[in-house]
Structures are given as structure tokens and as C-alpha cells.
Amino acid sequence: MADPKPKKTKGAQALQRIVAPPRVDQEEVANNCEVTQQAVSGWVKGRAKPTPDRMRILQDKYGIPMESWTEYLDDDADDTDSEAEKVAS
């Protein structure tokens, strides 16, 4: 049986928008946060959350509020949700 799809946070959705072309790539985010690109990929996909220290970096460098990592998306929200666009802008 396959694992259920991870439940994304608003922070994960905002980060996904930031690393979407032509913006910043995951490797640059990883370098800024001093983690691997695989860690950033996990954050984007909702499989993992950054530590509070990394959340602070994401907030300072990319404007993703720390609290957005605890705010979950509605089940019917997709990756183009306008709320994430507000968070990421």
C-alpha cells in the first residue's frame, strides 16, 4: 500500500512558488539554508518541515512567514492557490 500524499503547509506551497522557474532554484535555497537540495525538495513536497532556524532564514531571505509552516492547506487547494502567492510575494 502506498503512503498517503503528504499534507502540504502554506509554507511548503510558498516555497514551491519561489523555486519554480524562472525564480530561485532549490540548490540556491539549500545553500542559503545550509542544507541539501534533497532537504529543500522535501520541504517543497510537504514530506518534511524546516527547523526553526531554517524557517527564520526562509522568512528573512524569501518572505515566507514562519507560521506558514504550521498552517495546512485545505484538501481541495491546489498548487496555484492565491493565498500562497500572497505569502510568497
Would you say domain 10-88 falls under CATH 3.30.1380?
A: no
Question: b/e map of 31-63 (b: 16 or more CB within 10 Å)?
Answer: ebbebeeebbebbbebeeebeeebbebbbeebe
Q: Dig out the grid coordinates for 4 from the structure.
A: 498517503
12-70, pLDDT tens digit by residue?
A: 999 998 888 778 899 999 999 999 999 999 999 999 999 999 999 999 999 999 999 98
Give yes or no for residue 81 having a pLDDT over 60: no
Residues 83 and 41: their CA atoms lie apart, in Å, by: 21
pLDDT of residue 85: 43
Q: How confident is the model at residue 3 (pLDDT cuts 50, 70, 90)?
A: low
Contact at 8 Å (CB) between 76 and 57?
Answer: no
The pLDDT of 64-82, averaged and rounded, is 72
Q: Please state the domain extents for the chain.
A: 10-88
Place of cell 531554517: 54
